[in-house]
């Protein structure tokens, strides 16, 4: 199960679906641990994460990893939409990567970036692509602390993506055909989102740390001025980029609700409605960001195509953990299956022993037709027993071979830096399919070469059409067959 974890300047909030409801666990951070999205006190931050881990799973499961979509609530994540003509496949990937490098607000070597589709404009025959960028050093620092505290990072995203997803999937009265501004006022700051066609198109975040500046506190006048100034900037940006009229402002506040409504009504002629959820479970706005990330955790990994600002090393760690989890499953399953077979065989053995005793008593009358028929039944049971013994032997041998082969694949991927995202094995007569990603084509070729040297592997196929290369690495799918070899 994958949950959503919001990291803000003032608190940690974790939300996960338990099959019936969303479970919410939170912890306040001490002042000065995280300031303006920057990790200032790593030791105290790790200690807080460990406390949160214990609250979620209990003290006895401190070694168990918690899978989480991380929403960095107060870090500066830059978003921008750009357009491309209708293209597909490798050409689309190359065009997107080129545009991302050109528009990156940070030095591209010092940034993590990602993209997703925002809209397909049939009238203008173009694609709208949403891109996002975050400082690599900041993301790595948070990811490292999470790893130490027992959290396995599945993806990293901005609070804007979390909120827009929650609005789309669970927002009361949400209409994807309308254009709207979402305004969030919480413990992190003021956040303004532009939603078009049901997707995030723009995000402007102003933290309380930036609004406060050199002052000791934020005065009512400074708060009012920040709301008016920021909302003017967002509305002007919208009007200069899109022609559709804005229907309303959707407001989510954890405090100062009436004050914000009054400021907007006095200075802007636009409707306001509260951000409400159409769920049976009551959730306060404080938890909206973490809940939006938790909703992403419910999406199967192979279907999740949304932006992730996560480094390759962290992605590989998650992939290795998936493979190791699969191996641990087989290690538990094999002894259990063997135990079930042994119990069944013991029952058959005792049954046959009783039959043997009865045969000795009736051996004198075996020539009669009725006794001869009984003997044929006994011979049939003995044949079934022998077939069961043969089946157990083949099952144990196949299971041993599969475990060794999976261990080899895990070892080869760790040595070459290849991340395995999926292993598909249908039957002994069908090829084994592997898909995943590598940091470079050279790493992928090194992984293939190691497989070629493995005696239990044959018929390796890695066609060029199954490899997609980008500046961030190579995504691939390959297949091979299992050779008949004795377990080593």
Domain ranges in the chain? 2-310, 321-482
As assigned by CATH, the class of the 321-482 domain is alpha beta
Pairing of strands 473-482, 432-438: antiparallel
Which CA distances in Å does 215 have to 208, 210, 219?
Answer: 11, 10, 9
Residue 49: its H or E element: helix 42-57
Q: Identify the band that residue 132 occupies on the pLDDT scale cut at 50, 70 and 90.
A: very high
Q: Identify the band that residue 456 occupies on the pLDDT scale cut at 50, 70 and 90.
A: confident
As assigned by CATH, the class of the 2-310 domain is alpha beta
Q: CA 391, CA 411: separation in Å to the nearest integer?
A: 30
Q: Which of 119, 82, 85, 120 is nearest to 102 (CA)?
A: 82
pLDDT digits (tens, 9 = 90+) for 360-391: 665 555 455 555 566 666 667 667 656 755 65
Q: CA 166, CA 243: separation in Å to the nearest integer?
A: 25
456: its two tokens: 């239990």
pLDDT digits (tens, 9 = 90+) for 386-429: 675 565 455 455 555 566 777 788 888 888 888 887 787 766 67
| Cβ atoms of residues 435 and 460 within 8 Å | no
| Number of neighbours of residue 419 by Cβ within 10 angstroms | 23
Number of H helices, E strands in the chain: 11, 20
Average pLDDT over residues 214-223: 89
DSSP output for 245-278 = PEEEEEEEESS-HHHHHHHHHHH---EEEE--B-
Answer yes or no: same fold for 2-310 and 321-482: no
Average pLDDT over residues 42-68: 95
pLDDT at 274 (0 to 100): 96
pLDDT digits (tens, 9 = 90+) for 103-116: 999 998 899 999 99
Mean pLDDT of the chain: 84
pTM of the model: 0.66
Q: Which of 119, 132, 179 is nearest to 160 (CA)?
A: 132
First-to-last C-alpha distance (Å) of the chain: 35
Q: Identify the band that residue 327 occupies on the pLDDT scale cut at 50, 70 and 90.
A: very low
Q: Identify the band that residue 463 occupies on the pLDDT scale cut at 50, 70 and 90.
A: confident
Residue 277 makes CB contacts below 8 A (sequence gap 6+) with 166, 170, 171, 172, 283
Percentage of the chain surpassing pLDDT 90?
52
Identify the residue whose tokens are 């173009």.
126
Q: CA 85, CA 272: separation in Å to the nearest integer?
A: 36
Which CA distances in Å does 483 have to 59, 145, 428, 434?
Answer: 45, 43, 10, 16
pLDDT digits (tens, 9 = 90+) for 266-275: 999 999 999 9
Which CA distances in Å does 405 have to 402, 421, 454?
Answer: 5, 16, 9
Q: Identify the band that residue 8 occupies on the pLDDT scale cut at 50, 70 and 90.
A: very high
Q: CA 108, CA 94: separation in Å to the nearest integer?
A: 16
Pairing of strands 179-185, 246-253: parallel
pLDDT digits (tens, 9 = 90+) for 307-318: 999 875 434 444
pLDDT at 412 (0 to 100): 84
Q: Which of 359, 357, 353 is nearest to 376 (CA)?
A: 359
């Amino acid at each position: 199960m994958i949950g959503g974890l919001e990291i803000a300047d003032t608190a940690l909030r974790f939300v996960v679906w338990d099959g019936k409801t969303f479970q919410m666990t939170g912890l306040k951070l001490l002042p000065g641990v995280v300031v303006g999205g920057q990790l200032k006190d790593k030791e105290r931050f790790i200690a807080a994460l460990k406390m949160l881990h214990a609250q979620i799973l209990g003290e006895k499961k401190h070694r168990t990893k918690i899978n989480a979509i991380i929403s960095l609530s107060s870090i500066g994540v830059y978003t921008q939409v750009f357009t491309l003509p209708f293209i597909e496949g490798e050409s689309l990937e190359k065009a997107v990567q080129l545009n991302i490098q050109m528009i990156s607000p940070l030095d591209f070597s010092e940034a993590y970036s990602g993209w997703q589709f925002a809209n397909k404009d049939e009238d203008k025959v173009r694609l709208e692509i949403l891109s996002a960028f975050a400082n690599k050093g900041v993301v790595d620092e948070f990811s490292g602390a999470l790893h130490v505290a027992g959290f396995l990072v599945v993806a990293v995203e901005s609070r804007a993506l979390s909120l827009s997803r929650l609005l789309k999937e669970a927002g009361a009265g949400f209409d994807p055909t309308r254009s709207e501004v979402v305004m969030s006022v919480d413990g992190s700051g003021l956040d303004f989102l532009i939603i078009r066609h049901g997707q995030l198109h723009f995000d402007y975040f102003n933290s309380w740390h930036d609004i406060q500046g050199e002052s000791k506190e934020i005065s009512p006048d400074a708060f009012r001025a920040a709301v008016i100034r920021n909302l003017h900037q967002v509305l002007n940006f919208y009007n200069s980029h899109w022609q559709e009229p804005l229907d309303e402002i959707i407001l989510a506040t954890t405090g100062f609700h009436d004050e914000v409504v009054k400021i907007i009504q006095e200075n802007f002629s636009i409707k306001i409605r509260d951000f409400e959820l159409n769920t049976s479970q009551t959730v306060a706005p404080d938890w909206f960001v973490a809940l939006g990330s938790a909703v992403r955790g419910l999406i199967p990994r192979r279907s999740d195509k949304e932006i992730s600002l996560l480094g390759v090393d962290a992605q590989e760690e998650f992939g290795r953990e998936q493979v190791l989890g699969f191996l641990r499953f087989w290690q538990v399953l094999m002894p259990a299956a063997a135990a079930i077979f042994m119990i069944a065989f013991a029952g058959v053995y005792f049954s046959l022993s009783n039959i043997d005793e009865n045969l000795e008593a009736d051996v004198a009358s075996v020539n009669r037709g009725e006794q001869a028929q009984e003997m044929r039944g006994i011979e049939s049971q003995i044949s079934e027993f022998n077939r069961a013994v043969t089946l157990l032997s083949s099952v144990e041998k196949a299971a041993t071979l599969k475990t060794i082969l999976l261990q080899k694949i895990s070892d080869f991927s760790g040595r070459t830096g290849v991340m395995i995202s999926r292993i598909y094995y249908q039957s002994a007569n069908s090829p084994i399919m592997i898909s995943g990603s590598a940091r470079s084509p050279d790493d992928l070729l090194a992984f293939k070469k190691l497989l070629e040297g493995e005696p239990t592997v044959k018929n390796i196929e890695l066609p060029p059409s199954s490899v997609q290369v980008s500046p961030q690495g190579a995504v691939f799918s390959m297949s091979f067959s299992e050779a008949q070899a004795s377990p080593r």
